[in-house]
Structure 1
């Protein structure tokens, strides 16, 4: 009987190890890696960043590795820069971070650019909702270069003058 118990225990352990390996492979197939995704940090004037995150989660569901930094006119800008650095650290799971700002040349954009590291921490200025919705999916399995391109394409694609679209002109 003890021999059968040992064989059963060994068989159960083998099944458990196979199950764990299968789970990791399935996660890799879904996410592009075992434990990571591209992080996102929204940095905007006022509370726009928080509102964008609220709407993105309403449209596509809860987001992980997604941080916001809101910048007010009276804020200490060096403190806000530190807040951006902290947000990048929280959002980064090893595949890089994209910081999105509302307007190139504005304070949020300038602060974000000051922490940029090409290929690891990138900045996109001119954030819009289609861009964020696209990033919510491509950041799971894509690389940062592809995510940047697809976000920029989505952002441009959905900027339209309604009368021109409706009349075909």
Structure 2
């Protein structure tokens, strides 16, 4: 069982994140397609292309659609194109989220969606460096 993954982002964000993930992991265990959204893109054409990609990625186990920002054009295209029975959408795509998804290629669509959300959330934290601590004490 493998879930397909469609990444819909502004410009080349999705490609850059996937390239970095592949460099880190050494391979890509899931079938992934990327749909970049640019200013020159036509929304109707993007919606149709997203539908086609979801259909081609769905091997019977569903498709996880990852977008970069809720309420943006990529997110709206995903919401319009996705069929709730065959696709789930997670917004706020970041590198920890994508790495988490690719580390669990055998999970169901629902389980993979949960992993994507937890990876994204847990990948955001405040980092306090030694230099900052020294600056604060002076």
TM-score range, shorter chain: 0.7 to 0.9
Distance in 2, matches of 1:114 and 1:99, equals: 12
Q: What does residue 55 of structure 2 align with?
A: 89
Deviation at 1:119, TM superposition (A): 4.2
Tell me if 1:65 matches 2:31: yes
Q: What does residue 83 of structure 2 align with?
A: 117
Unaligned runs of 5+ in 1: 1-32
Q: What does residue 106 of structure 1 align with?
A: 72
**Greater helix share, structure number:** 1
| CA-to-aligned-CA distance 1:71-110 (integer Å, 9 cap, x gap) | 1012111111112112212322221001100000000000
Matches within 5 A, 1:127-142: 127-138=93-104, 140-142=105-107
Deviation at 1:62, TM superposition (A): 2.8
Aligned residue for 1:50, secondary structure, equals: helix
Deviation at 1:154, TM superposition (A): 1.2
Deviation at 1:53, TM superposition (A): 1.4
Give 4+ residue runs of structure 1 displaced > 3 Å after superposition.
none
Distance in 2, matches of 1:94 and 1:100, equals: 19
CA contact (8 A) 1:65 1:90 kept: no
Q: What does residue 13 of structure 2 align with?
A: 48
TM-score normalised per structure 1: 0.71
Deviation at 1:59, TM superposition (A): 1.2
TM-score normalised per structure 2: 0.86
Tell me if 1:80 matches 2:42: no
| Paired residues, number | 130
Deviation at 1:118, TM superposition (A): 2.3
Unaligned runs of 5+ in 2: 134-138
Per chain length, whose mean CA-contact separation is higher, i.e. which structure has more relative contact order (CA < 8 Å, sep 6+)? 2
Calculate the aligned-residue CA RMSD, in Å: 1.7
